[in-house]
């Protein structure tokens, strides 16, 4: 009966806890952004391409320029997100001829490394042909989109100073350099920007970046194919291990640090010194006997063995121990089944200074003691 009551009470307690939890907690779904996978890992313009396709604009991405693919399509747009200094002379001529026939080309300045520390950079041949005289240090420009907070863009690329050309549109100033210019070239246009970082996959979800991208693609938007040429931006294996592999390497690093700490030499013992090696009691007795024997104390050792035998005899056979002289020798010889002369010699102390006599009598005493 008591067990039933306890079971019902426990069930009621669990039901009350579940009801309280459901009443005080609400199930909420939360979206957690996952790291990029597949093509998005190495294609920085993947999100832009998919956005254009979703808007009905034909868009393709590749890692090589391949001018033959758009040479006859004057309504196409080419966004070249690669260092323009890598273009060969034939590719430069093909690009300029295509733009002169009506194409729309978007270029960026050479990418600046984190540790360049230079105030100027060499002007690539293509930019020089378009009227860029020199490249100046980077500087941000302000961008204001309706209903959005003030923004700055184009902070990481070189600014451009022009010579002999008048831009259709410009962003910046002639003294400190332009972060963006739109130049007319024949029947087409060329847009020069400090960088294309705002078009990257991780940044295109911002409204300001979407608005800026739409304005840049406006001249030929929806009229032809958009060719997105990019570098393969794969993070190094070490950087990916540091960034995504910390659940593995951090515990291993802690284990290694702990092992090194245990093995490291310390300044003084933290634990008691280990006990020195000790000899067993048998070794001590053996060493003491050897020392006495070397110093001529064989009779003393014989007395100890004889006394040990007699002590056992008194415990095991008091009647025989009470005898004396030849009677005890006779009784022991019969009891132990040993010759009379051997028992008599073993119980005689005289002559044990001799080495051979000592060992013979001690051996016999031990044999007699073991037979009791």
Q: Are residues 195 and 136 in the same domain?
A: yes
CB 154 within 8 A of CB 170: no
Low-confidence ranges of the chain (pLDDT < 70): 113-121, 233-235, 265-271, 274, 276-279
Which residue is it, tokens 């693609």?
217
Q: Are residues 230 and 310 in the same domain?
A: no
Predicted TM-score (pTM) of the model is: 0.58
**What's residue 114's pLDDT?**
39
Scanning 161-201, the segments in alpha helix (DSSP H) are none
Among residues 39, 358, 50, 326, the alpha carbon closest in space to that of 213 is found at 50
**What's residue 115's pLDDT?**
38
- Looking at residue 181, which CATH number applies to its domain? 3.40.50
Q: Which residues contact 296 (CB under 8 A, 6 or more apart)?
A: 353
Q: Does 142 reside within a domain? A: yes
Q: Which domain holds residue 139?
A: 39-234
- The total number of structural domains in the chain stands at 2
Q: Does 325 reside within a domain? A: yes
**What's residue 113's pLDDT?**
54
**What's residue 129's pLDDT?**
93
Q: How many Å is the Cα radius of gyration of the chain?
A: 51
**HEC secondary structure over 84-120:** HHHCCHHHHHHHHHHHHCCCEEEEECCCCCCCCCCCC
What DSSP string describes 5-51? HHHHHHHHHHHHHHHHHHHH--------PPPP-THHHH-TTHHHHHH
Q: Does 177 reside within a domain? A: yes
**What's residue 277's pLDDT?**
67
User: Which phi-psi region, left, alpha or beta, contains residue 129 (left: φ > 0; alpha: ψ -120 to 50)?
Assistant: alpha
Percentage of residues in the chain having pLDDT higher than 90: 39
**What's residue 235's pLDDT?**
67
Rounded to 5 degrees, what are φ and ψ at 152?
Answer: -125, 145
Which among 219, 234, 249 is the end of a domain? 234
């Amino acid at each position: 009966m008591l067990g039933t009551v306890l079971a019902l009470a426990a069930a009621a307690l669990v039901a009350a806890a579940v009801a309280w939890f459901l009443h005080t907690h609400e199930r909420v779904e939360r979206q957690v952004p996952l790291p990029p996978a597949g093509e998005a890992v190495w294609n920085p313009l993947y999100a832009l391409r998919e956005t254009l396709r979703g808007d009905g604009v034909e868009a393709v991405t590749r890692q090589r320029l391949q001018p033959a693919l758009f040479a006859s399509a004057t309504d196409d747009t080419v966004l070249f997100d690669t260092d323009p200094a890598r273009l060969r002379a034939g590719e430069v001529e093909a690009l300029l001829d295509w733009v002169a026939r009506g194409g729309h080309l978007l270029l960026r300045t050479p990418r600046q490394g984190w540790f360049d520390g230079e105030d100027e950079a060499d002007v690539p041949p293509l930019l020089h042909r378009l009227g860029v005289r020199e490249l100046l240090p980077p500087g941000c420009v302000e961008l204001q989109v309706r209903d959005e907070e003030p923004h700055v863009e184009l902070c990481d690329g070189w600014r451009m100073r022009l010579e002999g050309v008048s831009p259709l549109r410009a962003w910046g100033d002639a003294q400190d350099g332009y972060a963006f210019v739109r130049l007319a070239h024949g029947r087409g246009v060329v847009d020069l920007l400090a960088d294309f970082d705002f078009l990257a996959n991780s940044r295109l979800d911002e409204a300001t970046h979407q608005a800026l991208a739409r304005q840049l693609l406006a001249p030929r938007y929806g009229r032809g194919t958009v060719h997105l040429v990019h570098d393969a931006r794969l993070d190094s294996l070490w950087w990916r291990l540091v960034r995504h592999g910390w659940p593995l390497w951090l515990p291993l690093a802690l284990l290694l640090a702990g092992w090194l700490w245990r093995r490291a030499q310390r300044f003084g013992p933290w634990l008691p010194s280990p006990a020195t090696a000790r000899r067993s009691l048998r070794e001590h007795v053996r060493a003491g006997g050897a020392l006495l024997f070397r110093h001529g104390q064989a009779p003393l050792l014989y007395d100890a063995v004889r006394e040990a035998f007699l002590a056992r005899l008194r415990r095991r056979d008091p009647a025989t121990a009470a005898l004396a002289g030849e009677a005890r020798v006779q009784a022991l010889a019969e009891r132990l089944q040993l010759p009379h002369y051997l028992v008599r010699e073993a119980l005689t102390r005289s002559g044990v200074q001799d080495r051979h006599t000592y060992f013979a009598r001690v051996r016999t005493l031990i044999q007699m003691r073991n037979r009791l």
